[in-house]
Amino acid sequence: MADISAELAGIKFETCVFNAAGPKDVTLDELEVIAKSSSSAITMKSCTLEPRQGNPEPRYYDLPEGSINSMGLPNLGYKEYIRFTHLLKSKYKKPIVASISGLKFEDNITIFNAFNESNTDIIEFNPGSPNTIGKPTMGYDFEYLDNSLREIAKVCKKPLGIKLPPYFDFVHFEQVAEIIKRHKVLYICSINSIGNALVVDPERESVVIKPKGGFGGLGGKYIKYTSLANVRKFYELLGDRVQLVGCGGVYSGTDAFEFILAGATAIQLGTVYMQEGPSCFKRIQNELMAYMKNKGYESIEDFRGQLKTID
């Protein structure tokens, strides 16, 4: 049987496949569903300083090949997620990944400080959400990103990852890679949803979600190739100096294989988990192992980053 275990940010993961922050991970009950599943970690909802209801409904819509959403970071506030880490760690043996998305710089510092005393194994900074009304996607403000990581690095005592928005221009990849090199970021998760897509229902002659006049983050199979490009480009620029987590459009073991081939150490599942439920983790893990066996690979390190180009 192929070995699909991984070590991410110095933490051992039984498999390289786990849940992304966002889908069905707000409440303790939802987190326990993830904990009982084959997800190799428990990633919690991106949290803010205060509880948030999020954007008005309807704010999520399934599409034939993915989804559109404008959730607006609905969450219970960071103090509840700190409490959850103690409860989850006492019952389950999986790594716990906190996700932090403060609405302003000072919030992030407060939340990171507080999580130092939690049972969280890894903290994933999320400056890449495109769906908060009135707030820009902070991952596109490189000065903000640089300053935030500098100050977060001073207070964060946990292994640190960062979930980035999609980039499309090589010069932006290069600029972000230089920022990442300056700070103690152990992994990049690429990508968050592609912001400000628009889905139209021609029968109703209407948009399909309410917030922002129908504009929302695109996810699922529609974004797989952008996700792959982001993983690959960061791998080219950073090599093994910073680990990579592929997120966006993974629906099968073959999809997961492609991301690892491009350079990813681990894979997060978002829209597929929203649509299929917890069975997706075991299915995709089994498919990945079967695909690797057919290829003759014994572990993910046998082929990670070995994507061929055409001469």
Please tell me the predicted confidence (pLDDT) of residue 269: 98
| DSSP output for 261-299 | HHT-SEEEE-HHHHHH-THHHHHHHHHHHHHHHHHT-SB
Task: Summarize the confidence of residues 102-109 as an average pLDDT.
Answer: 94
User: Is residue 131 predicted with pLDDT exceeding 90?
Assistant: no
Residues 177-233: tens digit of each pLDDT: 999 999 999 999 999 999 999 999 999 999 999 999 999 999 999 999 999 999 999
Q: Is the dihedral of CA 21, 99, 149, 197 positive or negative?
A: positive
**Band of the pLDDT at 130, cuts 50, 70, 90?**
confident
Residues 11-51: tens digit of each pLDDT: 999 999 999 999 999 999 999 999 999 999 999 999 999 99
Residues 224-261: tens digit of each pLDDT: 999 999 999 999 999 999 999 999 999 999 999 999 99
The mean pLDDT value of the chain amounts to 97
Task: Summarize the confidence of residues 136-162 as an average pLDDT.
Answer: 95
**Band of the pLDDT at 146, cuts 50, 70, 90?**
very high
**Rounded distance, CA 21 to CA 24, Å?**
9
Please tell me the predicted confidence (pLDDT) of residue 247: 98
Q: What percent of the chain has pLDDT over 70?
A: 100
- Find the range with the poorest average confidence among 30-34, 103-107, 305-309: 103-107
Please tell me the predicted confidence (pLDDT) of residue 139: 93
Q: What percent of the chain has pLDDT over 90?
A: 96
Q: Tokens for 311?
A: 């001469």
Contact 245, 99 (CB under 8 A): no
Please tell me the predicted confidence (pLDDT) of residue 137: 87
Contact 284, 276 (CB under 8 A): no
**Band of the pLDDT at 1, cuts 50, 70, 90?**
confident
Q: Tokens for 270?
A: 């978002």
Domains and CATH numbers, the chain: 6-55+74-193+222-302 (3.20.20.70)
